[in-house]
Amino acid sequence: AIDLVVDKIERQIHKFKTKLMKNRYSNFKEIVPQVTPVLKEEEPEFKIVRNKRFVMHPMDVEEAIMQMNLVNHDFFMFFDAETETINVVYKRKDGDYGLLVPELK
């Protein structure tokens, strides 16, 4: 009699596990297609479309401003001969010039 009860309980456990697994994975299959398109639509916020390499010659700020005006740009990156750092000169809206000097922390 005990063997019959054990067999019946084992069948019930197997039936319950099978039902649970079917329900668990069927819900998973419904959720995954909804999430996947959202992940595929994400794109980087900024896209770099061109990389440009160029040779820098050591110069002072005045020469960098002349070079910037010569190529008719609003900014010019250069290697400052005095400080031995890469700096940027730029043309301001008021007609004057600015100088960006990086500092490492």
pLDDT in tens, 36-64: 555 556 677 888 899 989 889 999 999 99
Contact 77, 88 (CB under 8 A): yes
CATH number of 58-100: 3.30.505.50
In the chain, where the domains are located: 1-42, 58-100
Q: Is the pLDDT of residue 11 over 70?
A: yes
**Mean pLDDT for the chain?**
83
The 10 Å Cβ neighbour count of residue 78 is 21
Distances from the Cα of 45 to the Cαs of 41, 48, 101, in angstroms? 12, 10, 27
pTM beyond 0.95: no
* Contact of 79 with 57, CB cutoff 8 Å: yes
**C-beta of residue 87 within 8 angstroms of C-beta of residue 100:** yes
Tokens 């960006």 belong to residue: 100
pLDDT higher than threshold 70 for residue 77: yes
Give the amino acid at 63: E
